[in-house]
Amino acid sequence: MLYLRDMKLFVKNIESSVNEVLLESIFSQYGEVLNTKIVYDTITWESRGFGFVEFRKKDDALKAIENLNGKELVGKKLLVSEAVEKRK
């Protein structure tokens, strides 16, 4: 079976009590997750409310977007989209 390469998702509106383990467990329902990262403030170490989830298969990532974008997690609606490479 042919599938497209891995795909990274941008996840926004993450409630501050959500950690990477919980985030990965939610997203891994849709396929193999390679990496999960929540971004924290470098001074206070509080969550900045966004992060990234990387899937092995693009098809699985697209399923996760379809099913989790707008879904509530710990009282906040997640905003999930394909991550765009930051220009240097």
Number of domains in the chain: 1
Could you read off the pLDDT of 21-79 as tens digits, one per residue? 999 999 999 999 999 999 999 999 999 999 999 999 999 999 999 999 999 999 999 99
Q: Rounded CA gap, 39 and 47, in Å?
A: 6
Could you read off the pLDDT of 56-72 as tens digits, one per residue? 999 999 999 999 999 99
Q: Rounded CA gap, 59 and 65, in Å?
A: 10
Residue 82: enclosing H or E segment and its boundaries? strand 79-82
Query: Does a structural domain hold residue 1?
Result: no
Work out the number of other CB atoms within 10 angstroms of the CB of residue 9.
22
CATH classification of the domain holding 23: 3.30.70.330
Range of the domain at 60: 7-42+52-82
Asked if residue 64 lies in contact with residue 80, where contact means CB atoms within 8 angstroms, the answer is: yes
Q: Rounded CA gap, 55 and 65, in Å?
A: 11
Q: Is the pTM of this model over 0.85?
A: yes
